[in-house]
A and B are shown apart, each in its own frame.
Chain A
Amino acid sequence: MNTMLRNFVLGAAFAAAAGSASAATMTVYETPAGSELITSLNATTGTFQVVYSLNICPLSAGDILVVTAQSQIQNSSTTHGIYIAAQLRRDSTASTAGNALASLGNGTNIAPHDYRLVSPKVSISTITDDTDLCVINYIARAASDQGGTADVVNSRGRLQVLKITPTP
Chain B
Amino acid sequence: MKTTMRCAALAGLALAGLALAGPASASTFTVYDSNNSGELITTLPGDNNWYVLYSVDIGTINVGDIIVVFADGGQLQDPTNTTDHYLTSHLMRATSASGTTGTEIDDANAMNITQEVYRQVPIKPAITTIQSGTTGRHFVNLLVQSASGNDLNVNSDYGRLQVLKITP
Residues of chain B within 8 A of A15, CB atoms compared? 15-16, 18-19
CB < 8 Å neighbour of B6 from A4, A10, A112: A4
- B64 in the interface (beta carbon within 8 A): no
Q: Write the B20-33 contact mask toward A (1 if CB under 8 angstroms, else 0).
A: 10111111110101
- A81 in the interface (beta carbon within 8 A): yes
Bin the interface of chain B by size: 35 or more
CA distance A4 to B23 in the complex (A): 25
Residues of chain A within 8 A of B27, CB atoms compared? 23-24, 166-167
CB pair A107 B121 closer than 8 Å? yes
CB < 8 Å neighbour of A124 from B75, B118, B158, B162: B162
CA distance A63 to B68 in the complex (A): 16
CB-nearest residue of chain A to B31:
A126
CB pair A124 B9 closer than 8 Å? no
CB-nearest residue of chain A to B111:
A108
CB-nearest residue of chain A to B18:
A15
CB < 8 Å neighbour of B14 from A11, A107, A114, A121: A11
CA distance A22 to B114 in the complex (A): 53
- CB-CB nearest 6 A-B residue pairs: A8-B12, A11-B12, A14-B19, A4-B9, A11-B16, A111-B116
Show 30 residue pairs from A and B whose CB-CB distance is below 8 angstroms, ordered by the A residue. A4-B8, A7-B9, A7-B16, A9-B12, A10-B12, A11-B19, A14-B19, A14-B20, A15-B16, A15-B18, A18-B19, A21-B23, A23-B27, A24-B26, A102-B72, A102-B160, A103-B158, A103-B159, A106-B155, A107-B119, A107-B121, A108-B120, A122-B71, A122-B72, A123-B70, A124-B31, A125-B33, A125-B162, A164-B29, A166-B26
Q: Told that A103-B158, A124-B33 touch, could you supply 19 new A-B pairs with CB distance under 8 A?
A: A8-B11, A8-B15, A15-B15, A18-B18, A21-B24, A23-B26, A24-B29, A64-B29, A81-B116, A81-B117, A104-B157, A104-B158, A108-B118, A109-B118, A111-B114, A113-B116, A123-B70, A123-B162, A124-B31
A interface with B by C-beta (< 8 Å): 2, 4-5, 7-12, 14-15, 17-19, 21-24, 64, 66, 68, 81, 102-104, 106-114, 120-126, 164, 166-167
